[in-house]
Structure 1
């Protein structure tokens, strides 16, 4: 709804009311239409101010109405009616003006923003374009290049940047509505023709065709198959080359072409999935998400390698006091310099003063005694981690939450080293920890709901997408990654090259294929894990061939590459070659191709032609199959959790929705049939056998992804 009252004698004040973000629901749109008409008919009113209740202007369209029958006044005529008013209309922007909210503000004649407000047109992140005139008005206001940047990326801008770009007329630190009312009084009686963006042409540019060609190429490259950014470019081109009415028609056509697309459904699914990952209960009836988190004022991080440093930065940027512990003096000095630099750069980006004093560095574990929460971040060695948890149990004050940053080790083994295993949880960060959004919070068998709630809440404060997962080898993300990477190695044995595999996966939408990503993260990381598991070396299983381990197929290709000292970008050689260590430009390596040919010859393997389709099916469907096993065994609460993990932390293309959603889009029967085909061809790879849950879902008629929980109903939930 919208509330109307007259203030300061001649200003009609319209307040949007639809908590929490005043989304443009049918009732709000009707309220705007009614109150605008009321202001027009009020002879005492000479100007109008539109604001939002609760310190928020408007968060945009009500996404819950997408796909359903739209009722109430359409958005576009409503905005046109605001723009057509012959009394100055001022938008008082507090909090956010996003999507349809910014489009409403662009329909106003003037815009005043609070200094802390954020503005943007993020529709592209939902597989859409700003189709209530945003793609037509914004280029007319700030020019084509700036509008293309905002519309094709969907990024939010601060009030200060909005002022520089010309989106808003004034920024204030005072009460925005009061400032807007004073501003409205000052412009009463002014001519409004030049303030109506629909009648304003785009600023002229030389060689417009060259600009759009360059932008289109750049957008297609970065979109990696997403169609919405391309449609956004086409819509802005219409604004630059067509009169406003024809531009609006083109905007409407483009929106119609993508609104019901699979990509739009996938992106909107991601939007809701990210919000749903916190809503589930335990078999006992306890709920961590309704448990009161413990207060965390002081944190500690043990181990200041690359991951530990990033965790220190992520904690300090929330304003927490952090004790950073590193037993090696040289490593401690290097970490101190690195963390200070990261905090400084982060503060500059956010426009705030750095706070290096929040971090205290020490070589003594005893200095964490007063911490409310400790995160252990040493390298993946169970014996070392067990010893650290034993020491922490002796040193820390009662009630301290003890967390491990392990990427896949048994959290319960660490909890068993303490007197209070209910206070132990996993906090699996992703490198670089101060940048990557995903946080897997690992719920050990004895972790208390309050401990999990505390870790989840801390993740939220750090700006992370926190997902609670059960305690199994590799948890969710890395457990699913293992068969994906193994299949890629098997494909090399059978005739593929790293380039072919990576091209197929990048064609699917990944920013990097599996081998380029391995070179980036370092081949030695996985090699150390395989060594710890006793998998490396030709004679680890007496009586079995080199390409078999523990009774199943195993590829030692990556181990053999590592034995040559080829660890990826850090050494200048890996699956690819690089001009120098640390360089990021991957080039095809003749040595690697020759090595693969020799390897196949040594093992009597005949190379065959492998298609992009086979690469995608074998790598992705095996990952998906493992996801079904995780759901069936109760280590994830639902498909949304798995998809959020993969989109937020593993580079899964967002416009594909996540691996489980993608399976539903492909068709579960198709996934089942292809897995059966590949398992028949490779019976020595057990994880190719379709999971029983996948079979049950197909037998139930392949219900949509949001109905899977009804079929799962696992009595063995590990959460």
Structure 2
């Protein structure tokens, strides 16, 4: 942060940490040093705080979250600003997000450009506003709106922030110039009414129900996420405790979230989302340099009009075709049509071979038996469970199923055993993760981040778990490898459980983070 003396007995503290003036340890120390310099200089009457490059501050430096930084906490700096006997005015341009807004809340006045945005988006990173945000904001704008802004993390524009009371002045000109003029106008005004830490949270008669509704809302909107609910607990502390005790509760809850696996996962996702679009294809392959691969055979699913045409095209090109059609009637129609087309083609040109078909599916009599007994699931009230009524949702165990399974085991000489939830999860998830390592080793995926973002965006993997490859690193690569080896030994007919060579290479290095995998395992063997 830069410290400048201005005319009219004013000082300017400008945050400078491109590109968004993030609050690194050096920036926080610079802010504090500048404020102390201004306070000790009797010729300085007021201080303006702003950011360089048309941005106030986008919050804490996320890359430093996992490191314990020595020195004073930023929350203490925010409190010191409020207690200063000289007015401190925040001049906001661009964004004031997270710690940037907390810094502004510590200032006695807040002036912003009309296009500025402010907010506390920490929940998206699995944490809460831990530098007094949960304690100061409700003292300024009340509990209901604080709950909305903090649990959703949504930023608001300057006009809305002005209506809410977060900002004091919104202008279309330079906020620094306006803050300089404004500072001269408020020199004689008392600062005590502007110190949020000495205020109480505005009381409401239905406060308990407000918090109950807030808990219910976030549990429905963000199931499984810790940060929204924990933020509500911090806001409850602002209501129920004096400020000094409230900030201690905020610090305790912030530490709990910071140490949680969710915070690490969500911060990993934040960086992964911003990095995947910059990544090159694996092995520097591109459509300009990739060579076509030979096609040895083709499978066609469905033998409707389009499927028959596709099968014919490849057959005419001399490429073996395997076509699958589940409808026997449609299969017969297709066989006649394809045979007729091939015979016509054969009369025009020499054709090696002929279209042959054979059944490729094995059928179980159990399926026929279940259908014949009317066990179609919920719609008939009978399936794996018994239901209270057709299309009902209340289910209970079905004695018939137990008897059927017992007879089936006896007929096929099978021994029953209990399968724990842990084993079910491991066999499902680790086989998925194993395939991820395979495509990394084959050069199909450029990075573990690519795989994770695909599963987060398209397959419903919870964001707070970080993605399957991040989850593997959380569990530990040696653990994943050991479990896969165990399950593959027990089930040698399941190739998905055979550990990939790429996983073995990485596990030999212990449990490296995903960002180091490619450098440790070497370049992938791209097939492109």
Q: 1:609 to 1:535 in 2, by over 3 A?
A: farther
Q: 1:556 to 1:126 in 2, by over 3 A?
A: farther
Deviations 1:337-394 (A, max 9, x none): xxxxxxxxxxxxxxxxxxxxxxxxxxxxxxxxxxxxxxxxxxxxxxxxxxxxxxxxxx
Residue 683 of structure 1: how far off its partner (Å): 4.5
Secondary structure, counterpart of 1:619 in structure 2: helix
From 427, 432, 440, the counterpart of 1:618? 427
Distance of 1:227 and 1:546 partners within structure 2? 47
Distance of 2:276 and 2:456 partners within structure 1? 13
**Aligned match of 2:450:** 641
Secondary structure, counterpart of 1:55 in structure 2: coil
**1:546 paired to 2:391:** no
Deviations 1:286-324 (A, max 9, x none): 9x9xxxxxxxxxxxxxxxxxxxxxxxxxxxxxxxxxxxx
Residue 214 of structure 1: how far off its partner (Å): 2.6
From 454, 457, 461, the counterpart of 1:652? 461
**Aligned match of 2:380:** none
Q: 1:162 to 1:651 in 2, by over 3 A?
A: farther
Secondary structure, counterpart of 1:277 in structure 2: helix
Distance of 2:146 and 2:441 partners within structure 1? 47
> More deviation in 139-148 or 677-686?
677-686
Preserved CA contact (<8 Å) 2:50 2:90? yes
**Aligned match of 1:383:** none
From 267, 273, 290, the counterpart of 1:445? 290
Max radius of gyration: which structure?
Answer: 2
**1:199 paired to 2:198:** yes
> More deviation in 63-72 or 15-24?
63-72
Secondary structure, counterpart of 2:21 in structure 1: coil
**Aligned match of 2:11:** 12
Q: Which runs of 5+ in 1 are unaligned?
A: 289-420, 423-443, 448-523, 548-554, 561-565, 567-574, 576-585
Residue 446 of structure 1: how far off its partner (Å): 6.4
Q: 1:546 to 1:678 in 2, by over 3 A?
A: farther
**Aligned match of 2:130:** 131
**1:668 paired to 2:513:** no
**Aligned match of 1:271:** 270
Secondary structure, counterpart of 2:14 in structure 1: strand
Secondary structure, counterpart of 2:145 in structure 1: helix
From 501, 514, 519, the counterpart of 1:705? 514
Q: Which runs of 5+ in 2 are unaligned?
A: 293-301, 312-321, 329-356, 372-376, 378-383, 385-390
Preserved CA contact (<8 Å) 1:46 1:189? no
Distance of 1:128 and 1:150 partners within structure 2? 14
Q: 1:544 to 1:30 in 2, by over 3 A?
A: closer
**Aligned match of 2:353:** none
Preserved CA contact (<8 Å) 2:282 2:445? no
**Aligned match of 2:212:** 213
Distance of 2:210 and 2:73 partners within structure 1? 34
Secondary structure, counterpart of 1:147 in structure 2: helix
Residue 159 of structure 1: how far off its partner (Å): 1.6
Residue 538 of structure 1: how far off its partner (Å): 7.7
Preserved CA contact (<8 Å) 2:506 2:517? yes
Normalised TM-score (structure 2):
0.75
Distance of 1:284 and 1:640 partners within structure 2? 16
**1:62 paired to 2:61:** yes
Residue 236 of structure 1: how far off its partner (Å): 0.7
Normalised TM-score (structure 1):
0.56
Q: 1:710 to 1:48 in 2, by over 3 A?
A: same
Q: 1:67 to 1:543 in 2, by over 3 A?
A: closer
